[in-house]
Amino acid sequence: MLMPVTAFGPTGEAPRVARERAWARWALQRWEAFPVDRAPRPLVLTAPSVGFERGFRSGDAKMAFLHGDIQSAVWLPDGLLDVLRESAHDRTAASERRTRTSPLLIAHARPCQATFVTDRGMRKFPAWHLGGPDIDGACWVLDPTIAS
């Protein structure tokens, strides 16, 4: 039986193990400042801060969303487009060539309450209900004051 040959880095670790260890350090550092002793303990979102009722009316609209190519024809609070674009940004799609010529358009917006998934179950938070000609149904975006 042949055994696979594994290359080791200068630290004596296999490259895969070194990558996983680096990723774990990065993930733990992101939680370093989390106030675990605060009462009440803050909720943690465990799913995206953007939700869609049905999705998009076309593949082009979905690709515009995934590329973060989103514009609004109506007033939105500061930071709302940033929350939407950050949630939308798909690194695979962003590396692909864009063929759509127009951005995903937000044509109406109103404040609302929406349900989001947290580390302690489903919870309602202030959000924005968005719609547009290429959005099938509604889109809910966590209010930027909550998302930050």
Single out the residue of 128, 10, 141, 26 nearest to residue 84, CA to CA: 141
- Supply the pLDDT for residue 90: 56
Give the pair of three-digit tokens for residue 68: 């973060």
- Domain borders along the chain are 1-33, 50-147
Give the pair of three-digit tokens for residue 69: 């190519």
Split at pLDDT 50, 70, 90, the class of 38 is confident
- Gap between the Cα atoms of 9 and 5, Å rounded: 13
- Gap between the Cα atoms of 59 and 63, Å rounded: 6
Name residues whose C-beta falls within 8 Å of residue 48's C-beta, 6 or more positions apart in sequence: 87
- Supply the pLDDT for residue 2: 55
Give pLDDT tens digits for 111-121: 999 999 988 88
Split at pLDDT 50, 70, 90, the class of 16 is confident
Question: Mean pLDDT for the chain?
Answer: 83
- Find the mean pLDDT for residues 8-28: 78
